Amino acid sequence: MQGDTDLEKTSPRNRFPAKCQECVKSSKPFIHSGCTFCRDLGFQEETLCQLNRCIQSSTSFECNAFQPLLKLVQSSGQETRPEPKVPAAEITIEKLLDSDKVKYQRALALQKLARDPELVMLEIKYHFAWNVIGRKPVFTKPERMIDFICETIMACSKAMGGISYLLWLAPDHIHVYVESDGNVSPDNMAQDLKRLSETPILKRFPAFIASPDAETGLWDEAYFVETIG
């Protein structure tokens, strides 16, 4: 029995910050209610939670996305927890890439290969996502800033060895699409994207840093990346 007790104490859930254990998002699969992109792709909010946890101490943990785990008591006296609704994914990443632009690029690549069969071409497509520090919902009025942030992300294209686009601006996180020639590592791309975009955004919208932790910046250190083509 002692072994079972020790195992439970060191289980992944018990290493969560106390705030996470009391959050509804830690009990069931959940999708960010304020991000259409997450909903359409079925992107689990647990990924954003993990990004937020992995760079913080459990004793001084901060999360502005916390949602208390409510309990319901049935007439029998047994406690039950309301299950969060997980919307069905409306599109897939494959459908997202099935655009006229991508079709044109494929046709152009085939033409180049037809002219030079020995030509080596490499184009890797990535989906990046990362949080605002502490998942603070600073982008609550995206219509006022979306054009500038789109231009700022596109201005990072050269550093990516290709092109970079803003996919979606959620209140507390961001999704970015990158096409790269493979000469830049995903880690360097993520760090450059955050570094090159953070300063212009904070300079243009200083209200973002009107908080006690203003000196910490805008973007979190951790990031999610996957290849999508």
pTM above 0.75, yes or no: no
50/30 Cα distance (integer angstroms): 13
121 or 17, greater pLDDT: 17
pLDDT of residue 11 exceeding 80? no
* CATH class for the region spanning 93-227: alpha beta
164 or 211, greater pLDDT: 164
Mean pLDDT within 204-219? 69
pLDDT of residue 75 exceeding 70? no
47/38 Cα distance (integer angstroms): 11
Residue count of the chain, please give it: 229
Q: pLDDT by residue (tens digit) across 125-164?
A: 999 999 999 999 988 888 888 899 999 999 998 899 888 9
Per-domain residue ranges for the chain?
11-80, 93-227
184/161 Cα distance (integer angstroms): 7
What proportions of the chain, in percent to the nearest 5, are helix, strand and coil? 45, 15, 40
Q: Among 35, 1, 8, which Cα is nearest to 171's?
A: 35
Bridge-based pairing state of the strands 72-73 and 173-180? unpaired
136 or 123, greater pLDDT: 136
User: Of 4-13, 93-102, 130-139, where does mean pLDDT reach its minimum?
Assistant: 4-13
Rg (CA), the chain: 21
For residue 97, what pLDDT band results from cuts at 50, 70 and 90?
low
pLDDT of residue 16 exceeding 90? no
pLDDT of residue 7 exceeding 70? no
183: its two tokens: 């000469």
3-state secondary structure of 171: coil
Mean pLDDT within 201-211? 77
Give Cα 18 distance to the centre of its chain. 23
65/23 Cα distance (integer angstroms): 9
Residues above pLDDT 70, as percent of the chain: 66
46/52 Cα distance (integer angstroms): 10
Q: State the chain's mean pLDDT as an integer.
A: 75
- Quickly tell me which residue has 């655009």 as its tokens: 99
